[in-house]
Amino acid sequence: MLRNYAVVERMICLRPVRKLLKFIGAIIAFIVVGLAWMIGYLAYESHRVGAISKQFKPGMTVEEAVAVFPTDFFSASIGVPSREGSCKNTSGAISPPEEAPVLFPEMEDGDAKGKELAWDAAQIPLRLDRFELLDKHLRERKNWSILIQAWTAYIQNSEHPEAIAYCQRGSAYLVVGDFIRGYEDTKKSCQLGYQECCTDLRKLPREKVSAVEAKEKRIADDAPFCEPPAASFSMIGPVADDKFNLRINAPTGKGDPTQKTVSRAEFAELLNGEFRGREWGVGFTYMTATPEHLSFSFVVGRDGKLKEISRLRGWE
């Protein structure tokens, strides 16, 4: 009798364990099925988009490339690449390499005051006084990389950045040991009339300044003339009725973009006219039902023919 009772007791105790194991097994099966679906789906999408990218081949003309432009992309961007080297403008002055667009930085976790100051500073229109408050806070915390990024975002998004913006960014560059950029910003701030930075400029080690100036002279002597700015285009897909709805951004990047709907023939004519004699490129992005997206691009050379098609890549 006692033996039967013990067996029943063990069975009763095992029931919750069995239920838990079944529940865990169901979760594992769901995850496995979900992963299998995701892998299969991404493989299918990669094959499909990869087949689209393979329609573009080196040597194609712009007309031939536009004739096979896809219509099911999520977004597309068209424009000349950022200039990586210095060049001479029409007056003979040297324009430095173009900076890639910089986003407003994220503050560190746990820095509640910094997040509040950063939120205020990022409001449009950008205001110098808010950035100065953020600058003071970041200097106290010695967050130099974040400070540099914040001032870069301010400078890039201001039509006429104040001299103090260059001075503050320059001093941060000097602290982290980037003497060349620190010197360039400090000198620019002084040239714009900010006397405090002129004082800082005179305090910089003369041997380092002489080395930078000698390098600048060599660059100036060898620099090509700057090419005129070109417009850039963007599109949101999918395309309907084989008509492309272009968002046209002005060559200077200033002012509101304009909209234009064009046929494939008109599209090719527009691209040939805007980029004649220039190197430019197109990038396509495809969204998927997963966190990973797909993209590919191609480059058109100065002769108006495709010269490079990128491999399909995935990113989140």
pLDDT digits (tens, 9 = 90+) for 106-117: 898 889 999 999
Q: What percent of the chain has pLDDT over 70?
A: 92
The pLDDT score that the predictor gives to residue 137 is 96
The number of C-alpha atoms within 13 Å of 214 and in the hemisphere containing its C-beta is: 6
> Once rounded to an integer, what is the mean pLDDT over residues 36-48?
85
Domain 87-222 CATH class label: mainly alpha
Give the count of beta carbons closer than 10 Å to the beta carbon of residue 243: 14
> What tens digit of pLDDT does each residue of 204-215 get?
999 999 999 998
pLDDT of 271-297, one tens digit each?
Answer: 999 999 999 999 999 988 888 899 999
Cα separation, 95 vs 74, in Å, equals 35
Mean local confidence (pLDDT), 194-202 = 94
- Read off the tokens for 134: 């953020």
Single-letter amino acid code for the residue at 28: I
Predicted local distance difference test score (pLDDT) of residue 223: 86
Q: Is the pLDDT of residue 199 over 80?
A: yes
- What is the phi/psi pair of residue 75, to 5°? -150, 160
Mean pLDDT of 132-152: 95
Total-model pTM: 0.65
The mean of the pLDDT values for the chain is 87
* C-alpha distance from residue 205 to each of 187, 200, 214 (Å): 13, 11, 14
pLDDT of residue 2: 44
The residue ranges of every structural domain in the chain are 47-82+228-315, 87-222
